[in-house]
Amino acid sequence: MKSDNFRPVVIVDLETGGLDPSKDAILEVAACRYFPTHKGLKPDYWHKYYLPNGRVTKGALRINDLTVSKLRANGADSSFDGDIEKFLDWCAEPFDGEKILWAGHNVHFDVSFLRCCAARNGVAFPGSYNAYVDSGSLFATFYLGCATKSLLTLADCAFKHRPTHGAMDDVFACREAINMFMNTLELAPEGHGLPE
């Protein structure tokens, strides 16, 4: 199957300060966009840490352990508000004005944070409608070996990449889930899934 048979996709994961996109901070953003080239599907990566621009709950800190000192140690020097337009432009570039195909684990959660951040900063969210591929929903619906949509539980089923509540680790685990699913349905011949 040639790479031009595939449309571009952006796998995204955010680590946030809580569950409310209107109040809680975006602390870490990781994404891998894949787009067809004459040499196959080409991956390109975005991974940055950000200082809080909103609430950080104790529950979120227990899960992701992203304190301000750890964020600074990983290069954070501003909030995501300053990068939202640049990030969305980066995501939209391979789609050439078409709707973005977002993928991720519970991807609607991540996109809701991106939409709120864009609206708060007066940035247009690309595409009037965006498509979604959610690895948790795929596996909960079709894969009988996993009883839950938890990324860690899915990883226990068969993944090489371990989700850690680090955004880039979770992007790689999600990519593996999508590849596993595509190969199970024989949508992608061996070696023709999303490249590492």
Highest mean pLDDT among 53-57, 97-101, 104-108, 155-159: 53-57
* Complete DSSP assignment for the chain: --GGGS--EEEEEEEESSS-TTTBPEEEEEEEEEEEETTEEEEEEEEEE---SSB--HHHHHHH---HHHHHHTT--S-GGGTHHHHHHHHHGGGTTSPPEEEETTHHHHHHHHHHHHHHTTPPPSSSS-EEEEHHHHHHHH-TT-SS--HHHHHHHH-SSPP-S-HHHHHHHHHHHHHHHHHHTTSS-TT-S---
What are the pLDDT digits (tens) for 92-111? 888 877 788 899 988 999 99
Domains detected in the chain: 3-133 (3.30.420.10)
> 139 vs 83, which has greater pLDDT?
83
Q: Which residue has the higher pLDDT, 182 or 99?
A: 99
